[in-house]
Amino acid sequence: TPRVFSGIQPSGNLTLGNYLGALKRFAEKQDEGVETIYCLVDLHAITVWQEPEALKRQTREAAAAFIASGVDPARSILFNQSQVSAHAEMAWLLNCVARIGWMYRMTQFKDKTQGKNAENSSLGLLAYPSLMAADILTYHATMVPVGEDQKQHLELTRDIAAKFNHDYGVDFFPAPEPLIEGTATRVMSLKDGSKKMSKSDPSDASRINLTDDADTIAKKFRKAVTDPAPLPESLEGLEGRAEARNLVNIYAALAGRTAADVIAEFGGQGWGVFKPALADLAVAKLEPISTEMARLMNDPAEIDRTLTQGAGKARAIAQPILEQALDIMGMVRG
Ligand code: TYM
């Protein structure tokens, strides 16, 4: 069976972007006859400073978000990266295959160091994509559901896999395919239609957090920045209207409908009609998730047990592949 692998950084509040671009689709993949492996990438999170107690809480909260979004630890492998040491070991091997120049070209690295002294960012931040390649390749995973922003990292993963195979004259790592599907592969900020909705945006009003209550969700959509014109009568009318397009896409993804469908229903209507409808839909979909997250967070020890069990299952797949990679590269194995 084909193997799906994906990950999320437990580096803060998860957003509606993470839900629509990743979590919701992770849950759907479980019904598609594939093996599903999902990882809380805590080693990636520490490429920028994380307060240790906060990181623990965020990791448990992200695990709760996975489960509350429908990822079933009995059907999927759900674990945190640092509990499976093969990730860090494979990352070192791939660090010696990948080129420094490839890392400097990553737009995420450029964005995260923009306006700062790049020389003073962590070495891990530069090597980040090589650890991500290790995450995927250590499972020989071929399908990687992600949002649009991870596309370049997936291309780099394919380059690293190909260079390893070429350098060692083997056909060892399969090339993983990014799965960037649906109407919400790039959910934008509610304050600026040219910026991605992000857990690290300083403005809380720019995003919907999975932990926001109904009133907060309604208020954030009501205050979302848009142009004044009503919704267009056809999809083409969304050209050049980034904010309007974003809200239509969010509605479509939440409702499990196409954007064309949403325009067919709301075309010609003003924001006074559409925004409350969107808020109601978002609350209906997200409130059960935040309620379930809160319930799960009452028992952190149970979450930890789930992650540790998942790590055991992950290790059973990852360790033999790591051993083979070490052997191919010439490490003596006793
Ligand atoms: P991260 O933690 O930034 O985001 C997790 C997932 O959510 C998607 N996403 C979005 N999708 C649509 N609209 C948005 N506004 C939005 N914001 C985030 C991301 O595309 C991603 O799918 N490098 C990865 C984590 C990672 C990983 C991996 C992913 C580490 N190892 C291996 C796949 C496979 C990251 O920082 O995602």
- Which residue has a Cα nearest atom 26 of ligand 1? 7
Find out whether the beta carbon of 210 lies less than 6 Å from any atom of ligand 1.
no
Of ligand 1's listed atoms, the one at least distance from the Cα of 9 is 2
Our mutation pick for probing the ligand 1 site, out of 3, 5, 6, 8, counting the most ligand atoms within 8 A of Cβ, is 8
172 phi and psi angles, rounded to 5 deg: -100, -55
List the CATH number of the domain containing 19: 3.40.50.620
ipTM of the complex: 0.99
Same domain? 25 vs 134 = yes
Q: Which atom of ligand 1 is nearest to the CA of 5?
A: 34
Q: Please indicate if the annotation marks 187 as binding a ligand.
A: yes
- When divided into structural domains, the chain yields a total of 2
* Nearest atom of ligand 1 to the alpha carbon of 18: 7
**CA-angle at 107, arms to 186 and 194, nearest 5°:** 40
Residue 193, domain member (yes or no): no
Write down the catalytic residue from 24, 29, 196, 220: 196
Q: Provide the sign of the torsion angle of the four alpha carbons 46, 29, 172, 328, taken in this order.
A: positive
307 pLDDT exceeds 90? Answer: yes
In a domain, 189, yes or no: no
Q: Is 147 annotated as a binding residue?
A: yes
- Other beta carbons less than 10 A from residue 215's beta carbon: 10
- Shared domain for 97 and 143, answered yes or no, is yes
Is 151 catalytic? The answer is no
Q: Determine which residue's CA is closest to atom 9 belonging to ligand 1.
A: 18
In a domain, 239, yes or no: yes
Q: Is residue 284 part of a domain?
A: yes
Domain-located, residue 334: no
Judgement on whether residues 120 and 14 belong to the same structural domain of the protein: yes
In ligand 1, the atom with minimum distance to the C-alpha of 196 is 15
How far is Cα of residue 162 from the mean position of the Cα atoms in its chain? 24
Whether residue 40 contacts residue 8, with contact meaning beta carbons closer than 8 Å, is answered with yes
Asked, for residue 196, whether it belongs to a domain, the answer is no
Average pLDDT rounded to a whole number, residues 60-87: 98
pLDDT value, residue 236: 96
**76 belongs to a structural domain:** yes
Q: Do 46 and 104 sit in the same domain of this protein?
A: yes
Residues 139 and 228 in one domain: no
Q: Is 4 close to ligand 1, i.e. is its CB under 6 Å away?
A: no
313 and 285 in a common domain: no
pLDDT in tens, 198-213: 998 999 999 999 999 9
Catalytic one among 24, 199, 220, 285?
199
Query: Is 71 found in the same domain as 8?
Result: yes
**Annotated catalytic, 199?**
yes
Q: What is the CATH number of the domain that holds 241?
A: 1.10.240.10
The CA 132 to ligand 1 mean position distance, Å, reads 11
Q: Find the 22 Cα to ligand 1 centroid distance in Å.
A: 7
**pLDDT of res. 116:** 83
Arithmetic mean of pLDDT, 140-146 = 98
Residues 108 and 38 in one domain: yes
Asked whether residue 197 is marked as a ligand-binding residue, the answer is: yes
- Measured CA to CA, the distance from residue 25 to residue 203 in angstroms comes to 26
Which residue minimizes the CA distance to atom 4 of ligand 1? 8
Q: Token digits for 307?
A: 């992650």
Our mutation pick for probing the ligand 1 site, out of 69, 139, 149, counting the most ligand atoms within 8 A of Cβ, is 149
Q: What is the number of the ligand 1 atom nearest to the C-alpha of 197?
A: 15
pLDDT of residue 115: 82
Residue 80 structural domain: 3-180+300-329
Q: Are residues 261 and 315 in the same domain?
A: no
Given a cut of 90, is residue 315 above it in pLDDT? yes
Is residue 187 a part of any domain in this protein? Answer: no
215, 90: one domain = no
The DSSP result for 36-91, as a single string, is EEEEE-HHHHTTS---HHHHHHHHHHHHHHHHHTT--TTTSEEEEGGG-THHHHHH
pLDDT of 117 above 90: no
Identify the pLDDT of residue 316.
Answer: 98
Residues 239 and 159 in one domain: no
Residues 79 and 141 in one domain: yes
In the chain, what percentage of residues exceed pLDDT 90? 96
Annotated catalytic residue: which of 112, 151, 195, 313? Answer: 112
Active site residue 163: no
Looking at residue 118, what is its pLDDT?
84
Number of residues assigned to the chain: 334
Give the pLDDT band (50/70/90) at residue 248: very high
